[in-house]
Structure 1
């Protein structure tokens, strides 16, 4: 049977592929250290789990409005007011089956055939694929490692065409962990306003920041940018709720209504029980969120130091998320490997350490390491990587 053209051009997720291989090796009895997963290793806080149990006990297990229950929308508008000083109404909010579904639905309602979306690289692996599925064209804009993997207004101007519909800003970023400053966002936002380009602001890692800088949403910076921005966020990373699949989008009423209409024909609604769990997450104490962030900060400091001591490995220190994105091109070349992808494969085969090659993120000289695992495991992984590099020195 001939499959649809739209799926035949898709590139499989490199993060899921490396995680699957690592799990297969573990199942065979190998001592594998997986640093590929993009999810916290902490369990969902108990008060959130208890809220889900209560919802089930109270019979809150039926269909909900396609765009989410009003109580959860209320808690999201309160969160946006508290954290970003942004005022939204419930009509400007859609609750989705994870932030990934919010992005997917947004591109579906936004893009016509041939419309362009600017995607700064390194990028999260699903951005280009979702754009292509909506009939759009991802325009990859490489950010320089020397500029902390952040694009500049000049670069943005150069790739804008009459078909440009939107640009994605992911801050803090997956896979680099880098974060745009207020001044940087303001400058990029001005370019978007001058060219009538929608800003898709992916803020899923906003609670995981390890510097003195505060997270800034580009929508905060002016009324015009507020009107020109759709915020994407959710509880997956902030509250260790990846499997619950609750995200949201906030923005223009017309866009949000279209997204809700589309969701009514695809998912019907996000899982009712998970919505009540997310409601508890947004209305409860952030004590556990802060504890998790502090643990990630300790891991970042340790792993970063271990990595930069490895020959041929260079790394820009990130501001947030839970990834390091070192450049290992020199280590791969000096080890006699054809490319970084081959280096990553050999590392898994020989030392049983699973990293994600940067080629999947549009940056083939780099690799992504998730430090969402224990310090002991991270130290063991760093030792294995160092041994692997030393063993392959020419």
Structure 2
């Protein structure tokens, strides 16, 4: 009987920077596109079909007593490889339950702060996808911001905290993952908020997320201010919480800036992106803590596993904020766009309510890394 490890156990290791050796047995093209990453993670790729006749191709690269976690797409092939390795005398080998499919859906909650009026702010890190979502808890109420489609995770967390989810918010219409905002609001009997300029083609009712329309959770007021902040989408809207935390959506990240092309409008929206980053955000306090909706690099994780940075520090070190010449900025943005996310147009249509794929299809649509950033 082979040993296995859960995504939760693996996530704790990645966050705690524990030395971890992974044998990934997916095809090389899948591996090259997307893999488990971490500061102390070493990954070896050996496709499963190379191991059908025995584990010789990897045996010489590995010690029989070292701990090895075997990973595949869905958990079947890794279990077989794990059993083969055990038969060959490997004593400390585990397969990852559910494979990369399960890894893609794991959310690791992190407490960011206690708020001034007794509330709390939490960040949910989706390590396998680079998505970041948030929950504000205050009194007996909660708001969830940029939630992923795995809504049961937020429901369980709210239940543990003894609070009711009264609001869900999307800072913009997402194109790289399916939002859980509308579903979570329906299940909890709460209100779903979306920027109206991103909602032109939606098929459902929503509360407009607009400047001047603050959202109150328990004793905490979320200021939607200045902070119409277009550039990633035409409706992108930032949130200020407790006068201390700036939720930037996909406009500004710790090591990069948002891409303006996921609705086919790169040339049109790059000017908006510059205006938001170089003017609107500049007017804000340097001491605001930036909490983005995504991260792209393992190095963006803080020592505690969260993703955050002081706004003033980002103006010193984020290369996307260092380009004074407007034409040079336009060139940097439009020439450094990564491949567009898998099925991004179908994801946008799903988030607008124009498509309603089965759960399994939704999982497939999201497979792969997030690609929301410009990498100069």
TM-score, length of structure 2 as denominator length? 0.34
Task: Answer 1 or 2: which has greater strand percent.
Answer: 2
